[in-house]
Structure 1
Amino acid sequence: MKKLSFSLLFVSILFSSCSKQLYQVQKANFTENTSINSNLKEDQKMNTMIAPYKLELEQTMDKVISYTPIDLPKDGFNSALANLSCDMVLEESNLIFEQKHGEEIDLCVLNWGGIRRSFTKGDLTVKNVYELMPFDNEVVVATVSGEKIKEMFQFMSNASLGHPLSGIQFISNDENSILINGEKLDLNKNYTVVTNDFLLKGGDQMNFFIDPISVENLNIKQRDIMMQYFEKYDTVQVNLDKRILDK
């Protein structure tokens, strides 16, 4: 049976209000834990206190920011949601990167495990974006060698999951098929890859990101960059082109 140690969490709610009234908090000592079970009754005073904050949060999270005319499944290779996730991160990141450097990012690589749910045709809300990407991962741009892109290709060729890709196409285990934005991979060239800080550290076994030539943090969360994208378009346009051509 789970146990819950009661704490004065309501203090943070009180201090988050616009009021400048000060509250004195005294330490509360409890000798027993409260068991979480069907016999636990709601605290009506607490419910009354948090009700306006709960309502405001629900109104914010339920705001419709876009619409998808098709289902957006996450599973499988080249899935609609995997394609969309990478495409929108690449598009929005390029707006930042081009302004700073006058050039575009070459490609985007994310991870299947970072997509936390699928969507059916219909409205997309603020809450949906948090459900899609609940983590506070930062968007980063890594400059890597052509050899590192080859390592990435080998990893993706043998992966059992359809990791999101954008800006790259290839046939599994066919090195000569690798195209970066329509051009054949040059092992002597450096490429810019937008991803997140979790993968940059080798998360999900993506060790090809370790020891890049350089890294730039765009100082924006992946969730926020996705939010920006959805807010720009009344209706989402999904590119269903295959990135891994034989899957």
Structure 2
Amino acid sequence: MKKIVALLVVFLVVACAKEKQSISRIEGKRITISDSLPADQAIEDYIKPYRDRIKEDMSKVLSYAPIDMHKNDGELETTIGNLMSDFVRSQSEPIFNKRTGKNIDICLLNHGGIRAPIPKGPIKTQTAFNVMPFENSIVVAELTSENVHGLVDYLVTAKRAHPIAGLTIKLDKDYKLLEALVNGKPIEDGKTYHVVTSDYLQNGGDRMNFLKNPVTLEVLDYKIRNAMIDYFKSVDTIPARLDGRFVKQ
């Protein structure tokens, strides 16, 4: 009897193992989410204090813009681009200097990273989130003089208003390089330069591969958006200028 039961068990196991499972039908239903859906009052009551606090914080006036500033108000440099590269450099400098005892030579950001203009009038916290919605952090890459020349060549070839500070570039009418200066001096062969930028670009974003293998890299643990907010808080009226840092004659 035991042998018969054992044989039956083996037979059932083998039969089940050989049976192939397959999907015969998949069904789905579209559920539209819109304002017509009734709100859950208990959830609304729970999140209201947080929503009100966020709205209050986002509406705080931090500074003032004297004119409309956007990334297309100049050919090779723009008012908002100059502003961003200047404050990223100025806000990062004390942190970097305290850690390393060294100074920042150049700031380089990317034109596409500016996602909204700064309109004339009061600047609010929301403005910073509009201009810089990404979580990009600030890093300082130490570059060889060869890579700094590569940086300049990239900007000359791109013919685009990527924000820069500490670097002056002059082109002729045919977009050929006439002069490139770092803090008013020619690039010195054999010297290294400290370039403050975003972690996105340092990792090769926008094909800025000259940033990818620095001599040293200092991660500041400081987001560009937070640097922007801190800067806005520190000034009454932000500067809006084109100062000839990247020009075609």
The TM-score with structure 1 as length reference comes to 0.81
* Pairing of 1:167-246 with structure 2 (within 5 A): 167-172=166-171, 174-175=176-177, 177-246=179-248
Give, in whole Å, the separation in 1 of the partners of 2:200 and 2:106: 17
> Deviation at 1:49?
2.7
> Deviation at 1:202?
0.3
**Does the aligned pair in 2 maintain the 1:150–1:175 contact within 8 Å?**
no
* Pairing of 1:75-224 with structure 2 (within 5 A): 75=72, 76=74, 77-172=76-171, 174-175=176-177, 177-224=179-226
Give, in whole Å, the separation in 1 of the partners of 2:34 and 2:54: 27
Where 2:96 maps in the other structure, the secondary structure is helix
**Does the aligned pair in 1 maintain the 2:108–2:163 contact within 8 Å?**
yes
Give, in whole Å, the separation in 2 of the partners of 1:39 and 1:140: 46
Give, in whole Å, the separation in 2 of the partners of 1:103 and 1:239: 28
Per-residue CA deviations over 1:212-242 (Å, capped at 9, x if unaligned) read 1110111211111111111111111234212
Give, in whole Å, the separation in 1 of the partners of 2:113 and 2:85: 11
**Does the aligned pair in 1 maintain the 2:108–2:164 contact within 8 Å?**
yes
Give, in whole Å, the separation in 2 of the partners of 1:232 and 1:150: 34
Give, in whole Å, the separation in 2 of the partners of 1:94 and 1:242: 23
Amino acid paired to 2:245: R
**Does the aligned pair in 1 maintain the 2:70–2:117 contact within 8 Å?**
yes
Per-residue CA deviations over 1:175-199 (Å, capped at 9, x if unaligned) read 5501001001112211000001110
The answer as to 2:54 corresponding to 1:57 is yes
Where 1:124 maps in the other structure, the secondary structure is strand
> Deviation at 1:201?
0.5
Determine the structure 2 residue equivalent to 1:23. none
Where 2:142 maps in the other structure, the secondary structure is strand
118-127 vs 230-239, greater mean Cα deviation? 230-239
Matched pairs, number: 217
> Deviation at 1:126?
0.9
Determine the structure 1 residue equivalent to 2:65. 68
Displacement over 4 Å in runs of 4+ = 173-176
Where 1:35 maps in the other structure, the secondary structure is coil
Per-residue CA deviations over 1:60-80 (Å, capped at 9, x if unaligned) read 111111111122112242110
**Does the aligned pair in 2 maintain the 1:90–1:108 contact within 8 Å?**
yes
Unpaired runs of 5+ residues, structure 1, are 1-30
Where 1:212 maps in the other structure, the secondary structure is coil
**Does the aligned pair in 2 maintain the 1:139–1:194 contact within 8 Å?**
yes
Unpaired runs of 5+ residues, structure 2, are 1-27
**Does the aligned pair in 1 maintain the 2:106–2:196 contact within 8 Å?**
yes
Determine the structure 2 residue equivalent to 1:5. none
Percent identity of the aligned residues?
35
38-47 vs 227-236, greater mean Cα deviation? 38-47
> Deviation at 1:38?
6.3
Determine the structure 1 residue equivalent to 2:22. none
Q: Which structure has the bigger radius of gyration?
A: 2
**Does the aligned pair in 1 maintain the 2:128–2:228 contact within 8 Å?**
yes
Amino acid paired to 1:151: G
**Does the aligned pair in 2 maintain the 1:66–1:234 contact within 8 Å?**
yes
The TM-score with structure 2 as length reference comes to 0.81
- RMSD of aligned residue pairs (Cα, Å): 1.9
